[in-house]
């Protein structure tokens, strides 16, 4: 696995990975209606590309016969807000999400990291030292989905002592 920065040419493959992951990995915690509202297969690629370019975006790739296959991605803005984190449905629990988060947290220097974690992702973030600030219901295409505002405070990044 190689971690690298986002390229505009990645966007379409990342949108497909997002859809496939939501509809398989998150299916244990959300209804079909909720999954369809969350990921309906119609991503605004121009808006996603702009967002990925404005954020620090890390892409996990694997070399496959003269081509790279994207196996995960994550993006964080300059304030420490982790916007998206998705790993290919066939590559779960292999350390890919941890590697992406480690790189994002190493690159973005913030006092607090914040994310809105799905029910499925909540245990992952708890293990990384995040705590639940609140549970909330978010509306996507007229459908409510539960998620968790979570944060990880960095007490002292650098010490003078």
Tell me the H-state helices in 26-77.
Answer: 32-38, 45-54
The pLDDT assigned to 88 comes to 96
Residue 67 has a pLDDT of: 84
Beta carbons of 89 and 119 less than 8 angstroms apart: no
pLDDT at 159 over 50: no
Residue-level pLDDT at 160: 46
Q: Supply the pTM of this predicted model.
A: 0.90
Instruction: Round the average pLDDT of the chain to a whole number and report it.
Output: 93
- Measured CA to CA, the distance from residue 148 to residue 121 in angstroms comes to 9
Mean pLDDT of 18-29: 95
Instruction: Give the highest mean pLDDT range of 33-37, 73-77, 154-158.
Output: 73-77
Torsion of Cα atoms, 6 then 17 then 90 then 58, to 10°: 20
């Amino acid at each position: 696995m190689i971690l690298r920065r986002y390229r505009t040419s990645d966007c379409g493959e990342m949108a497909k990975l997002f859809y496939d992951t939501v509809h398989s990995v998150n299916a244990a915690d959300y209804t079909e209606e909720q999954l369809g509202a969350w990921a309906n297969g119609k991503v605004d690629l121009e808006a996603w590309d702009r967002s990925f370019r404005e954020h620090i975006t890390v892409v996990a790739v694997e070399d496959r016969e003269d081509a790279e296959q994207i196996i995960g991605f994550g993006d964080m803005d300059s304030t420490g807000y982790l916007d998206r984190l998705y790993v290919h449905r066939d590559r779960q629990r292999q350390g890919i999400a941890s590697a992406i988060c480690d790189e994002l947290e190493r690159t973005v220097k913030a006092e607090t990291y914040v994310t809105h974690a799905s029910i499925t992702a909540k245990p992952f973030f708890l293990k990384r030292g995040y705590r639940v600030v609140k549970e909330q219901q978010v509306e996507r295409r007229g459908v409510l989905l539960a998620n968790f505002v979570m944060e990880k405070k960095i007490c002292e990044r650098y010490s003078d002592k």
